Amino acid sequence: MHILLVGLNHKTAPLQVRESVAFPKEHLAEALPALKSRVGEGVILSTCNRTEVYSVSDEPAAALQQVKVFLAEFHGLRTEDLAPHLYDYIDGEAVRHLFRVAGGLDSMIVGESQILGQVRDSLAAATEHESAELPLVGLFHAGVRAGRRVREETDVGRNALSVSYAGVRLAQRVLGDLRPLKVLLIGAGEAGRLVASALRTVGVSDLVVSNRTKERAYELSESLGARVALFSEIPAALADADIVIAATDSPGFIVTPDMVSNSGRVQPQFFFDLAMPRDVDPRVEELKGTTLFNIDGLASIAEENLEERHRAATDAEAIVDEEVARFLKWWDGLDAVPVIKTLQQQAEQIRKRELERALRRLTDISANDREVVEALTRSIVKKLLHQPTKYLRQDADKSQLQALEELFRMGDDR
């Protein structure tokens, strides 16, 4: 079996393309079974800056093509239009890529804090919809471990920016002091919470929170002392907002040009759209007095962040190397599992056969003595196989496994 990855990110695809193949959470219930029907098992990692599909197959070329077709067809696109933006990796390269992603080393904002949770969530979704089995579960658990080590053992995760915090920093760069401004935050999920926390940190006091689920909006507003606007009240709330920051999981636009133009606002208004797919219709920028920034507007913040974390990233890459080697050793060890199982079964069959033969000759043996002899034979077999099976799990390569199968004539009933 081979580990496979097909994906695109902020390095290979513009915002419009990334948006076109994003998987909002509510679409995963349909997407994961559809992916499983094509490639047997798979995990979808979809964030603001990437969409990646991980799978396993013993026919990598065919499986990679199937994933590319799945990505295009699920989103109503042509495969040939999407192909120039896609990358694909196999085995060690796929493993390394995931571990770097989990550690925040492949993010636009190096070391950003949200990605590790998103890696966990992608595995949880695949497990819930039964599209991931042992190989991919093991891969993603190892990826999370690698990401956690990067954050705990290097400076990459120290004072790390999230995309949400970077959005607030960009707003400061554009507008200066944010404290006297009125802010409307649309979205009270994880990204929205991070935005709200960042706004409070820089001194914003006039904050209105809106969310499709009003209970979550009230929960966030209470923790921050903010006001709440119901989703139906967003058009009215736009009239008072100097800054609108949108960060929801919605599959469609939340803020439209008509909504903005009908709000009656006459002062300049700034929109920061941190969502993927986007929350703010890009045509909003065509309106007089509006300025719109999206996720790609964080590039300048990303460059500064990269310079700050370059040295720490070098240490993090060493951790990734260690974890990749550790995982690949486990992965190669999976080849030994069926061989070990067959060897143990053969040994057990021989033990039982020879034990019964001996017991037939010991006609006067008591039940207690019979149990002693039974335990003795089990112990001998177990101790004889202990070192060989340990070696098979940890050190044997495929040629040695094949040699063992031939040596013990596995599959031969004679």
Contact 104/110 with Cβ under 8 angstroms? yes
d(CA 185, CA 246): 6
Q: What strands, in cross-sheet order, belong to the sheet with 50-57?
A: 42-47, 50-57, 2-9, 87-90
Catalytic residue selected from 5, 44, 48, 316? 48
Verify whether residue 49 is a known catalytic residue. no
DSSP β-bridge partners for residue 394:
none
- DSSP assignment, residue 66? H
Contact 320/100 with Cβ under 8 angstroms? yes
Other beta carbons within 10 angstroms of residue 89's beta carbon come to 19
Other beta carbons within 10 angstroms of residue 15's beta carbon come to 19
d(CA 36, CA 55): 9
d(CA 186, CA 205): 16
Region of 123 (left: φ > 0; alpha: ψ -120 to 50; beta: rest) is alpha
d(CA 346, CA 360): 22
DSSP β-bridge partners for residue 207:
183
Where is 246: in which H helix or E strand?
A: strand 243-246
- DSSP assignment, residue 1? -
Helices (H) and strands (E) in the chain, counts: 16, 10
Contact 90/96 with Cβ under 8 angstroms? no
d(CA 4, CA 342): 28
d(CA 266, CA 69): 47
Ranges of beta strands (E only) in 218-348 are 227-228, 243-246, 269-273, 290-293
- Residue 139 carries which side chain, given as an amino acid letter? L
d(CA 64, CA 42): 12
Instruction: Give catalytic residues, as residue numbers.
Output: 48
